[in-house]
Structure 1
Amino acid sequence: MTQYTFSFKALMLAAALALPSMAFAADPVMMKDGVMTDHKGMTVYTFDKDTGGKSMCNADCAKNWPPMMAPAGAKAEGKFTPIKRDDGMMQWAYDGKPLYTFMKDEKPGDMKGEGFKDMWHMPKH
């Protein structure tokens, strides 16, 4: 029994140590009913002022539109890429457009940010 417990703990430790290095081999978002969401089910948005893979949403903007942060060393496939923000942190982008959630979306399925000020939109996947 002791050996089994030790082996299970060793396996769990090895898995935990391996996870950061794997850092998203799959898409960092999901599709739910045709809408791109984060892994908590919250709607994802892009900002029209973002160009060239650079986020223009910083400071107060980023408080209202939290960036979808990517872990250090993150890698993705297809149209998903991590980009570096002005603060040096990494953020997910889709097809070159940085991704965000919206603070007024209170629960999964909310889409209150769609069309906000004609500059925030749900990306087409």
Structure 2
Amino acid sequence: MNLHSQSLKALLLAAALALPSMAFAAEPGMMKDGMMTDHKGMTLYTFDKDADGKSMCNGDCAKYWPPMMAPAGAKAEGKWTVVKRDDGKMQWAYDGKPLYYYEDDKKPGDMTGDKKKDVWHVVREHM
């Protein structure tokens, strides 16, 4: 094997390993049937008490409403941003609003958390 083919194989391996993290680095969610889901089809929510791009759902709240976590070094584009949580971890936000899952949603398309306590809402196209 010559040096050129070794370099090419190393480059291809590096690209293949980078693809999964890059595949949705810019847009971790998508609109499906008028509501936003992650790439597995799980519904995403916002919390009315969040303000100025900061999550107010921590501790026990985050057990019931797990944040949509962003990997270290995630790059966001357009309406997508990454916000720092109280624990120092990073969370995806859309249009300045941190995003969450709901613990009781068990399968893609479930949206049992919509309008919970009048402060939790499914992210919809008209945001």
Q: TM-score range by the shorter chain?
A: 0.7 to 0.9
CA RMSD, Structure 1 to Structure 2 (Å): 2.5
Q: Partner of 2:29 in structure 1?
A: 29
Structure 1: unaligned runs, 5 residues or longer: none
Secondary structure of 2:123 counterpart: coil
Q: Partner of 1:53 in structure 2?
A: 53
For this pair of structures, how many residues does the alignment match? 123
Q: Partner of 2:89 in structure 1?
A: 89
Q: Partner of 2:101 in structure 1?
A: 101
Deviations 1:9-68 (A, max 9, x none): 645531254348747443110111111001111000000000000000001110100100
The 1:61/1:12 distance shift into structure 2, 3 A limit, reads farther
Secondary structure of 1:51 counterpart: coil
After TM superposition, the score normalised by the length of structure 1 is 0.85
Distance 2:123 2:15 in 1: 33
Pick which of 86-95 and 20-29 moved more: 20-29
Q: Partner of 1:77 in structure 2?
A: 77
Distance 1:23 1:89 in 2: 21
The 1:87/1:108 distance shift into structure 2, 3 A limit, reads same
Distance 1:122 1:18 in 2: 31
Structure 1 runs of 4+ with >2 Å offset: 6-13, 15-26
Contact 1:24-1:76 within 8 A present in 2 as well:
no
Structure 2: unaligned runs, 5 residues or longer: none
Contact 2:41-2:108 within 8 A present in 1 as well:
yes
Distance 1:79 1:34 in 2: 17
Q: Partner of 2:62 in structure 1?
A: 62
The 1:106/1:8 distance shift into structure 2, 3 A limit, reads farther
Distance 1:78 1:7 in 2: 35
User: Mapping of 1:12-27 within 5 angstroms?
Assistant: 13-19=13-19, 22=22, 24-27=24-27
